[in-house]
Structures are given as structure tokens and as C-alpha cells.
Structure 1
Amino acid sequence: MNPLLGSQFPTLALREPLPLTRHPAAVYLRSLSPGSRPTMQQALDTIASKLTNGECDAMTLNWAALDYQHTAAVQAALLETLSPASVKKMIAGLRRVLKEATRLKLMDSETYTEAIDLPKIKDSCKLKGRALTGVELARVMADCAADPTLQGVRDAALIAILRGGGLRRAEVVKLELKDFNLETGALQVRQGKGGKDRMAYLPEGAIPYLENWLLHRGNQPGPLLCPIYKSGRIAFRHMTPQAVLLIVQKRAAQAGVEQFSPHDFRRTFCSDLLDAGVDIVTVQKLAGHSSPITTAKYDRRGEETKRKAVQQLKF
């Protein structure tokens, strides 16, 4: 285990605060979508803390003072405790902050080029998450149907969107009533990952779950899905992504299904569409991925699908 990085370097704290318009981390964070900002803020705080033995966070670190020895050391330290995928995202944020420092004339181009020239991070061979089977999905939906409270109706609608539309949980909680078309099953996803808008669609079998929820919710403008008080009264405000996670965990436990995450519904969504013969570019657009390469990583169809695929070959 490496010692704390802060003990290796002189102080990297800013001598005096920078205006937000001149602060490279602040400028970078403002360029992100509201949904992505908290995650990257936390990542930059972690990097700053490791570099200074807890002395600094993202706003008090002097990012322009970093060079290759700092960036290489912090990447190595992060890899000791975090997954390669997580470290890749954090280092990508670090690179963007240093790029802003260069644009703001706080760091020279040569130092920037050297600082971002880091060893390649090797991905873990094991895929994250899993796809749910048809039996598992049926059991989870049956658990919602057996719930006599309004939470059962709401949770069935939530799962119908996660599984049927492939939305991220952060996208689901931002949906407004006006974003759903009951006749076509269309969902207008606003400010998804990367700040992009897209149109998603629910399969016909998922629409009745939304229709049932709307009979209870009514047509009052506001969030499509809402928290529900213990009394059964609907709170017309947005749910949180954390609430979605807890609901999914509760339903899995009650249905006697192996635990899964809300994101596993996206993996199931992509895998099932690919298994149905939908081309990967269309699946990419429906999932809101920036590249088909990302979509391919969501494929959890397993060996049986590959075995069946080669049976199509003539011999």
C-alpha cells in the first residue's frame, strides 16, 4: 500500500482563492450536465485529497501546479482501491481540468502534455452487472401486483420504464407527466447523460402499468413518478435516484430474486433487443449511448446466444 500522496509533495493548496471564471475545476464542472456534476465533483475532491493528505478539495487545490509526477502517482494510488473503470472516469475528469488550466493560461502546454501522458489503464476482464431472466422479471412484477398499497402501482410503473425503456435511474426521476405519451408509449428524455435529449419508447406490454399509475396520480402537471407518503397520499415532487435503488432492492428481496441494480434493467434492455435481432446502432440510439462500442459492453446474452448464432451457418 502506498503512503498518502500528500506526504510526497510540497503543499499544492491555492495561496488565495481564484474567481470561479478563472478556476479550472469550476469551469470544467460548469460544462457538465446537472446530473453528471455531483459525481465528478466527488471524483475531483478525492483526487485533491489524495494529493494533499486531506488538506485540499477540488476548489482549494492548485490544479495548475500539477505535473507528471503528481498525475502518475495519483492514478497509481486510485488503482489500489478502485476499479479500473472508476479510475478511468476520474482520470478523464483530471485531464479535462488540466485542459481548462491550459486554456486559462494557468499552465503551459508542455507541462499539460506531459501531465496527461499517463500509463494506459487496463480494463478488468469481468463484466459488471447482469441481465435478468424472463422468470425473474415476472416475479418482480408479480410482487408489485400483490402489493395492495399505492406503492405497488407506482413501483410497477417505475420498473416498466426501467426495463421497457432502458432509461437510467437519473433519467427516470426527471420525467414529467408531459414527457409521456400514453397513446404511443413515447418518453421524452430531457438532459440525459452528457446533457443530451432523446426519445425513448415503451413496448405495448409496459404501457398498462403506466396507465394504471396515472389513474391514481391524476393529470396534475409535475413529475411523472412521485414519492408516496405512508398515508398513501402522493407527494407531487421528484423522486431521487437513491429512492429508485432502494425500491429495486426491496422488490428483488421480496420476490426472492438475486439482487440486481437499476442499471441491470438497461443491460437487460440492450441484451434483449440485440437478441431479438435489432441492429446495434438502433439499440445505441434507444439507450442514449454515445457509441455502439458502449452498447456492445451492455450485451449480457451469454454463451447460449453465441452457440445459437453459429447454427445459422450453412455447412
Structure 2
Amino acid sequence: MLLTRQSLKLSQPLPLTGHPGAVYLRSLNPRSRVTMRGALNAIASLLTNGECDYMTLDWAKLTYQHTSAVQAALLERHAPATAARMMCALRRVLKEAKRLGLMSGDDYQTAIDLPSIRESRKLRGRALSQDEIRGLMAVCENDPTTQGIRDAALIAILRGAGLRRAEAVKLQLKDFTQEAGSLQIIGGKGDKDRLVYLPESAISIVNRWLEVRGFTPGALLCPIQKGGRIVIRSMSSQSVLLIVQKRAIAAGVESFSPHDFRRTFCSDLLDAGVDIVTVQKLAGHASPVTTAKYDRRGEAVKRRAVQNLGF
């Protein structure tokens, strides 16, 4: 995708403190850094037919001709949400190039003057029914092994607190307060901390797991080796997916992702009449606009709401 004869390759390496791509990636948390580094490498390769990666591309040379072509190419190859995320990375790098004095303000504004990518408002995934959740818990409770007890606690936390799976596997024993049934989320999405609470039924399930796990400091949810030996270290996000898939098959529940517990959590709270700001705080959403996407109550609730207004 070489648009001009001018080389986009850096003539000489930049120090990490002066490289716009490196400066941008340093501002992200480790998980986002991996994702966005991949996006930047893909864009650099696209612009130079595989000649450059994000460190060797001269980002300051990019013009509207380049950025508009990149956006068009990404939309041909990826879903709108993915293309939008990759273009966000590109814009952020160009912003760092401007801040570092590598690019003029006018050149920066022209390069990013692109139409917004329209994303589908329809949420991926689905909410689980109460019968499906009961079926999943029954499968775990009927499993007499240590894995059954651990998996019940995992599902209770995902469903009861609406955590992202990356947040669940980062939980430490000290983050759980038995008396209040609270979980301290450290470094959630956007590197934000928050305090969430489990329902009473979930607290008892987690406490049962702790009776088996013990109270050695370390990860709250742990891998279990053959023979039932618990290893006090964090599980991987991938292991959460595999556990959920295994229990779904055993319970005869239609395929779903761990994130669907989170969708269910938000939707059920909104259905119960919990105000959207409270749900936003519990879910750790940056904006109530995100939380509102989970509102499935429809027009009937709006119609009933205005009946509270008097004259």
C-alpha cells in the first residue's frame, strides 16, 4: 500500500523517549499495550508493504492521503469495531508526534480529519436466563472434585459481580472481604480501581471455595493440578473461557462467553430498577452511555415512569 515514492521508513532510530509510538504504548496498561502494538504493527506493514513495523515507521510523515487509505483498507479487512480501535491507536500516535514536535499542529489536524467509523449499536453476545445460570451452578455443585467447587466460585463471581474475566483472574485473597462480601478490583479496564459486592448466595459459594483453598495469601481463584492439588497462583483468562465452555456443555446451555455473565449482570440490575449510574459504577464503565446499551426494558418502563409525574 505504498501511496507515494517518499519512503516512510525512519532514516535513523529515535530514542524511546522521543518515539511517538513508544511514548503512546507506554501510556497503556500491559494488556492494552499488546493489543495496540499489534494494531500499530499492522498499520505500519500496510503502509509500507511489510517493510516497516511500528518502531521503524516515520509516523510524522503521515498525511491525510495515508490515514484515509489506511481507514478504508482496515474497514475492508476488519469489523467496524476493530477498525475503529486500530484507527484510535493511529490517531493517538500522531498526537504524540505533534506533542514531541515531530509534526506541526496543522499537519496533525489534517491527517486525522477523517469520518467517524459507524459501529453497530447491537451488542454482541447474549444475556443468560435464570434457568441457564441455575443449570451451570448445578453442574458445578454436582461435581464432587475440587474443580467443581472452584468453578462454582468462579461463576458466582462472574455472574454476581459482573467482572471481566481479566479482572476475575487478577483477584487476590486480600481483595475479598467476607463480612461485607466485597471485592476490590485493582487496575481494571482503564487502570481504574473499584469496589463491588457479591449477593449473599454468591458469598457462601466463595466461602466454600476458601474452605478448600485455604487462606494462604495469593490469587483468589487458582489452577488445580491432577489429583486436586491447588496451586496458589493466578489462572489465565483463557482458562476461564475453557471452564465456562466445559460447564456449558455439561449443563446443556447454549454456547456463550464469560463476558455474557457481565451482560447478564448489567441487564438484570437495570431490569430490577437499579439506577443507571449505580450500575455504571458497579460495572466499571467509563460512561453511562455504555451501560445504557444493556437496558432491555423497552417502552413500557418509560411509559410507567412518567406516571410518577403529577400536576
Normalising by the smaller structure, the TM-score range is over 0.9
- Map of 1:273 onto structure 2: 269
Structure 2: gaps of 5 or more residues? none
Which of 79, 86, 90 is the aligned partner of 2:86? 90
- Map of 1:161 onto structure 2: 157
Q: Per the alignment, do residues 21 and 136 of structure 1 end up closer, same or farther by CA in structure 2, a change over 3 Å counting?
A: same
**1:214-237 Cα deviation digits (max 9, x unpaired):** 111101001111111122111111
Q: CA deviation at 1:251?
A: 1.5
Q: CA deviation at 1:55?
A: 2.3
User: 2:3 touches 2:66 (CA, 8 Å); kept in 1?
Assistant: no
Which of 159, 179, 182 is the aligned partner of 2:175? 179
Q: CA deviation at 1:97?
A: 0.8
Q: CA deviation at 1:177?
A: 0.4
- Map of 1:47 onto structure 2: 43
User: 2:161 touches 2:196 (CA, 8 Å); kept in 1?
Assistant: yes
**2 CA distance for matches of 1:41 and 1:274?**
36
Q: Per the alignment, do residues 217 and 112 of structure 1 end up closer, same or farther by CA in structure 2, a change over 3 Å counting?
A: same
2:93 paired with 1:108: no
**1:24-60 Cα deviation digits (max 9, x unpaired):** 1111111112232212222222222222222222222
**1 CA distance for matches of 2:244 and 2:34?**
22
- Map of 2:246 onto structure 1: 250
- Higher mean alpha-carbon deviation, 189-198 vs 58-67, is at 58-67
User: 1:46 touches 1:57 (CA, 8 Å); kept in 2?
Assistant: yes
> Which structure 2 residues correspond to residues 157-306 of structure 1 after superposition, within 5 A?
157-299=153-295, 301=296, 306=299
Give the SS at the match of 2:107: helix
**2 CA distance for matches of 1:264 and 1:217?**
27
- Map of 1:57 onto structure 2: 53
**1 CA distance for matches of 2:247 and 2:12?**
51
**2 CA distance for matches of 1:129 and 1:6?**
38
**2 CA distance for matches of 1:139 and 1:272?**
18
Q: Per the alignment, do residues 9 and 266 of structure 1 end up closer, same or farther by CA in structure 2, a change over 3 Å counting?
A: farther
Q: CA deviation at 1:309?
A: 5.5
**1 CA distance for matches of 2:109 and 2:59?**
14
Give the SS at the match of 2:201: coil
Give the SS at the match of 1:122: coil
**1:177-200 Cα deviation digits (max 9, x unpaired):** 000001111000001111111101
Aligned pair count reads: 307
Give the SS at the match of 1:187: strand
User: 2:169 touches 2:235 (CA, 8 Å); kept in 1?
Assistant: yes
**1 CA distance for matches of 2:209 and 2:36?**
35
Identity across matched positions, percent: 65
Q: CA deviation at 1:111?
A: 1.0
**2 CA distance for matches of 1:151 and 1:13?**
52
User: 2:244 touches 2:258 (CA, 8 Å); kept in 1?
Assistant: yes
Which of 25, 33, 47 is the aligned partner of 2:21? 25
- Structure 2 length-normalised TM: 0.93
**1 CA distance for matches of 2:55 and 2:141?**
48
Give the SS at the match of 1:206: helix
Give the SS at the match of 1:92: helix
Q: Which amino acid aligns with 2:36?
A: M
Give the SS at the match of 1:269: helix
- Higher mean alpha-carbon deviation, 36-45 vs 206-215, is at 36-45
Give the SS at the match of 1:35: helix
- Higher mean alpha-carbon deviation, 283-292 vs 247-256, is at 247-256
Which of 127, 134, 142 is the aligned partner of 1:138? 134
